[in-house]
Amino acid sequence: MTTVVYFHGFASGRQDQSPKAALIRDLGYELLWVATAGDYRPTGYLAAFAGLKLDPAAPLVMMGTSLGGFWARRLGNDWGKPWIALNPAIQPSQSLQRYIGTNTRFDTGEPFTWTAADCAGYGDYEQRPIQSRIPGRLILAEDDEVLDYRPTLATAGAARVLVLPSGGHPLHNTGEYAAVIDEFLAECP
């Protein structure tokens, strides 16, 4: 059985009751969280991912939203695994600059500090090529209030793309794309 490895976004954390988590469970897939415990730097995501101790030969699909979508796409490519990215960050070194300073986590309400150096830490990961042979699915909302969907379209490459007229940044309207996710996951080995 395929396991969906889910990467949460910036200033977020594990949300077992989220509509996206419910969708994956309702479709009959196991869901594992890459939970960074408030460390949104590359080292935080990579350590949380490594902490899952996944078998590279196992049937896995990487999935995430926003900055989590960046990591789903990046690590899906690095591991040779299919990926699903919902309103993903494409250049976090740039898009996260607006958060330099003190921020509040959405999931816990705890404050954290984000720096220019934290943004710059993403530069090398952004430069790695996306492999067209790895199946990918992008789901984007035209009304995303955080990230403009159009630059993502320009980087889609061979990934299949669904652009929804609404859903905003969190894309909680899972009913509008559940069939697309189900079809993609069913095709994954």
pLDDT at 184: 97
Question: How many CB atoms within 10 Å of residue 89?
Answer: 26
Out of 88-92, 112-116, 130-134, pick the least confident. Answer: 130-134
d(CA 157, CA 144): 21
pLDDT at 12: 95
For the chain, the domain total comes to: 1
d(CA 120, CA 123): 6
Q: How confident is residue 189, by pLDDT bands cut at 50, 70 and 90?
A: confident
Query: pLDDT tens digits for 48-88?
Result: 999 999 999 999 999 999 999 999 999 999 999 999 999 99
CATH number at residue 151: 3.40.50.1820
Query: pLDDT tens digits for 121-162?
Result: 999 999 998 889 999 999 999 999 999 999 999 999 999 999
Q: Which domain holds residue 67?
A: 3-187
Query: pLDDT tens digits for 4-50?
Result: 999 999 999 998 889 999 999 999 999 999 999 999 999 999 999 99
- Alpha-carbon distance values, 92 to 29, 60, 139, 140 (Å): 29, 24, 18, 17
pLDDT at 38: 95
